Amino acid sequence: MPQATTLFGLLPVVLALVIQSGSHCVQAQNVPFYIPFYDQSANGFTMPARGWNTYGLQANPKTSKFFFNDANFRQQCSYIQTQPGYDYYCSLDSGWSVGGNGDEYGRLIPEPSVIPNITDLANFLHSKGLLLGVYVLPGAFTSDANKLVYGTNIKIGSLFNTTSDPSGKTCNDYNARNNFLYSLDGVQQWHNSVVNQFAEWGIDFIKLDYVTPGSPEGGCMPYDSSSSVIAFHNAIKQSGRTIRLDISWKLDRDLPYWEIWRDNADSLRTDQDINNSGSNTLVSWATVQRAIENFRIYITQQTLDPTRQGQGIQVRPDMDNAYVGNAQQITGLSDVQRYSVAIHWIGAGANYITGSDLTNIDSLGKQLLYNEEAMDVADFTSQWPMQPRNPEGWGTPGGSASMQLQAWISGPNEQGTAVVILTNLGPDQGQGGFGTNWGGVHNVSIALNDLGIGPDCKNGGKIWSVRRVWGGGGSGGPDHTGPWNITTAVESWLGPGESVLYKFQKME
């Protein structure tokens, strides 16, 4: 792709009205254009989670004065602005519970120095219209082997899995825990006892981390702890409380595991953590590129596999915390890059949970988390996730390959509404998947036919009214401008790390 001169960095977005090459509706990988959509999740949710999670500030204590305790947790949560139709969670990550043992029945115990009264905390959040989340790992503490499962005469240790995995290793004893042999009577009763206690406390969200196959890369972990997801799901069902189950991380999405995640969890981590543990800033652009690439892989698994088409996606993507609330010296991202995080997380219809320091949020952070027009777009993409459609200048425009210069489309729905995102991810910093390293400002252009909404497409139209919701904060132009009518293509000059978000409405 040719590089633009710096003059183009001063130009506004141009909505191309010229005829683009190709007059037919491009079919990605010779597969007819398919519009993915979300459906109700296993535990009954129809919208992604929103809110705030502690882990970014826990893992990066140099970025703020946050100390992991009840008072600071409440303070952060008090800054959340809620919107009707969504569940907003304040979620405690690793470290909220005692690390070496459970109670007399092997159930988790809140760490007194962190959360002295978890029921009181839950009541506080509920009084503000917020919900409480907690972090758990598969299995029970190894030190609790001689304790009985609540309501039974079954020793917890008798349920432990001590067999080797297919590689010949025994990796069931990890993080002071032991994985279960899930076929044994007593395992589900133990999970029921844990979740029932959570329900009594007022817990609304469970993040189940270190699920395999998938996580972690390296280390010695149980080869397959997918049955823990089933056990927690069944425990939630019998508890009578509405609890969301998020599973993590970077999980295997081939069969049979995809069906396990789909039928039991509400969201799954498509990537690993994107924060900079122990750093002076919360996140880096390199890991954001990786998170976007992992979502691209996730959504193309749904759109290109005929066996997954025609049915709603029940388990939503969790792309990790959206670090968009703070200025660059805290976040580690430029304003342009912060826009891109918000645009891609919203476009994906993913969980929109931030890890930013909400006590130090700036004006841009407020817009990226709460702007009404952008949240209206999020209402749409929460039902119709974006998918990649390679822009002009490539051998397969309209395809779904990983690209530095990329176009995405969400929808259209039956009312002729769509969302389009154009982006220049900038030079690949090693994990972006596209492998190109163009600097400077570039034109990202795509024909409507290549987006799947041109006049030659089944879901297309001759004229579209286009509104630029977010201009990306850089050369892409200002926010909240338009609408314009376009007939053939959309384009924008975008610098490295810059994205633009459009809302489309079919006129004819």
Catalytic center residues: 209, 273
**Among 26, 23, 13, residue whose Cα is nearest residue 488:** 23
Identify the three-state secondary structure at position 301. Answer: helix
- Give the integer Cα–Cα distance in Å for 444 and 351: 27
Residue given tokens 């204590």 in the structure block: 61
Residue given tokens 């978000």 in the structure block: 501
Tokens of 215: 């996580």
Q: Tell me the residue length of the chain.
A: 508
**Among 268, 272, 267, 316, residue whose Cα is nearest residue 291:** 272
Residue given tokens 């981590």 in the structure block: 269
Backbone angles phi, psi at 90, to 5 degrees: -105, 115
Alpha helices in 332-438 (DSSP H): 335-347, 363-370, 372-381
Element holding 388 (H helix, E strand): strand 386-388
**Among 41, 192, 206, 70, residue whose Cα is nearest residue 132:** 206
Residue given tokens 């799901």 in the structure block: 233
Tokens of 383: 């039902």
CA dihedral 210, 216, 222, 226 (to 10 degrees): 50
